[in-house]
Amino acid sequence: MNPRLPILSGHEVVTALKRAQFIPISQRGSHLKLRHPDGRTVIVPMHHELALGTLSSILRQSQLTLEEFQRLL
């Protein structure tokens, strides 16, 4: 795990991803699916606090660097 990753809620992550042009597609339970126009898909659990491993996985799925993601916050 990366100690530089911030502790964020699912809502904060979704807000940042929307700024990166990800669009909410569907939701099943607490998991929201977002898709980028180029086809990238990201699943975000809408929890109060995301585990660092979960946030790392979201960054991998979105193909955003940590620096890009932090600028979107």
* Domain ranges within the chain, ordered by starting residue: 10-72
pLDDT of residue 1: 47
Contacts of 47 (CB under 8 A, 6+ apart): 9, 10, 30
Q: Which of these CATH numbers, 3.30.920.30, 3.30.420.10, 3.30.1490.190, 1.10.760.10, describes 10-72?
A: 3.30.920.30
Q: Report pTM.
A: 0.92
Strand ranges of the sheet holding 23-28, from the earlier edge strand across to the other edge: 23-28, 31-35, 41-45
At 8-63, the pLDDT tens digits run: 999 999 999 999 999 999 999 999 999 999 999 999 999 999 999 999 999 999 99
